Amino acid sequence: MLKVTIVAIAISLATVAVAQDQPRDDKNRVLNQLSWEMLECSTYFLISAQCIESHPDPSASRTANDLRQAAEKVGTLAITTGRAVGVTDEGVAERTKLTFPKLMKSINNNCVNIAVLLERYNNFCKQVSQEPDKRIKELLATDNDRVTCLNMSGDVAIAACSRAIPSDGHDIAWLYSKRGSEYRRGGENDRAIQDFDEAIRLDPTEGFFLDSRGDALRHKGDYDRAFRDYDEAIRLDPNKALSFNRRGQAFLSRGDYDRAIRDFDEAIRLDPGDAFTVNSRGRAFLSKGDYDRAMQDVNEAIRLKPNDAFYVDSRGQAFLSKGDYDHAIRDFDEAIRLDSNYHFSFFRRGVAHTAKGRFADAVEDFAQFVHLKPSMAPGWAALCVAHVRAGQPQQAVADCNESLRLRPSDADTLADRGFVYLKLGRFDRAITDYDAALQQNQKHAVALYGRGIAKLKKADTSGGNADIAAATALQPNIAHDTELEFGQLR
């Protein structure tokens, strides 16, 4: 009977391949996938038999024996199918070593929880063992979608994942996880969390899914739930550097730099060659004001990945934070040479040029930034201020308008445009913008100061002095700081 089943698999695969002109690589992937699924089902049947045989019901022994026979049958099919695509017996043994503890872990090594496996595998494994030819056809029909889902990005990957997910399979949790990751990259954190929930339900022992859901929760600002996921991922695998890295990123985002550094330390101990984690620890030191240790880490990250714009840009940030603008600009120059589309380096180089009073150069950099990232409002706001300092206030108005179109209620940009109107002598329009900024933030010192200047220009001495006094109380150096950014105002 087993030989007949194997022949049926071969005939089914050949028939479908001829009908659809299926490439050989696709057929090999399908057989490899089927071998994995059969092996996982064999393990499921075996664990079920072990759990059921100890049950006091008189029929338990017979049921357990049937399950063992099913495990042997589908296990032999797994080996034979794997051999067809070059999987050695040793390879099958290694797969078994991975599969058995994974399934046992999913029931917490306790047969009381066998219902978890029954829900996930019972119907699926019956089909795989009894109708392998039907399963092959399903896999062939969705093979390209699975490959596209797991290897592409953006909307293309999301659409492919959505088509592949209904076909089920041993990798179904990874398909949900991949779609969730693409949703998260697109800013759709709620949809991402739903997919990660499903991936975790299907495989609660995979820490990667917990880490990924933690990232989506972190991006939503739900740090408590995020930390629970990171903690559980670390509990499942305390030797996984990625989990410590991700929890460290959450601490860094929350401003808890010491705990971030501790997590990055552990991640680096586990994986000392990971440039990203080394660089992240440098960012944490930089946020603490420890420039020397920050510089040690960013230099080490560059040593580990010497031709990566991201790490050269990070060192530029460190120099920028120290006020070493010349070294910062040199690093941003190099980052842009390595990657001419690395938009962050254009933005940061623009900041450095502004600090050095090179306003025309700053305009060029911010203009390139918005060319590369036209939907990012901060770039338009920075270009607005740069145009003011370069003596082009009319162009500045257009830049601020575009920034506010993207973020209509941003108090900082409303205040920036208020200063542009102030420069143009349009004091009423300036006051309107400052009022709008203060509606968003009553303690916006820059808006208060600007409104005070505008009122003084309109001969409202008492109102102007009152606003300036209120601004100075909030920010004692407000006059100096504002004139550094916008130039002479009085």
**Alpha helix ranges (H) inside 305-392:** 309-322, 325-338, 343-355, 359-372, 377-389
Please return the burial class of 227, using the count of CB atoms within 10 Å of its CB with bins 0-12, 13-18 and 19+.
middle
Residue 490: the pLDDT is 66
Answer yes or no: is 153 within a domain.
yes
The CATH number of whichever domain residue 390 belongs to comes to 1.25.40.10
Predicted pLDDT at 56: 83
Output the six-digit token pair for 259.
């705990």
C-alpha 321/C-alpha 327 separation (Å) is 11
Residue type, 223: Y
pLDDT (0 to 100) of residue 137:
82
Residue 136, domain member (yes or no)? yes
pLDDT score for 374: 97
Q: How confident is the model at residue 10 (pLDDT cuts 50, 70, 90)?
A: very low
Domains identified in the chain, total number: 2
Lookup result for tokens 């420890």: 290
Residue 62 lies in a domain: yes
Q: Which of 130, 165, 200 lies at the terminal end of a domain, its last residue? A: 165
pLDDT at 119 over 50: yes
Neighbouring residues of 190: CB distance < 8 A, sequence distance ≥ 6? 220
Q: Look up residue 55 and give its DSSP letter.
A: S
pLDDT at 317 over 60: yes
Domain carrying residue 100: 1-165
The answer to whether residue 17 sits within a structural domain is: yes
| Length of the chain (residues) | 490
pLDDT band at 6 (very low <50, low <70, confident <90, very high): very low
From 113-122, 193-202, 310-319, 400-409, the region with the lowest mean pLDDT = 113-122
Sorted by sequence, the CB contacts under 8 Å of residue 101 that are 6+ apart come out as: none
Model pLDDT, residue 15: 37
- Residue 435 belongs to some domain of the structure: yes
Give the mean pLDDT of 337-350: 98
In a domain, 51, yes or no: yes
Query: For the chain, what is the mean pLDDT?
Result: 90
pLDDT class for 42, splitting at 50, 70, 90?
very high
CA–CA separation, 464 and 264 (whole Å)? 50
pLDDT at 2: 39
Please, which residues have CB within 8 angstroms of residue 1's CB and are 6 or more apart in sequence?
A: none
Q: What average pLDDT does range 425-449 have in this prediction? A: 96
The per-residue pLDDT for 12 is 40
User: Are 260 and 286 within 8 A, CB to CB?
Assistant: no
What tokens were used for 144?
Answer: 């390209």
Does 37 map to a domain? yes
Of the candidates 138, 165, 192, which is a domain's last residue?
165
Tell me which of 165, 180, 201 is where a domain ends. Answer: 165
Which pair of tokens denotes residue 110?
């306790």
Q: Which two tokens stand for residue 467?
A: 């606003």
Any domain includes 451? yes
User: How far apart are alpha carbons 280 and 345 in whole angstroms?
Assistant: 17
How many Cβ atoms from other residues are within 10 Å of residue 69's Cβ?
Answer: 12
pTM of the predicted protein model: 0.78
Write out pLDDT tens, residues 288-297.
Answer: 999 999 999 9
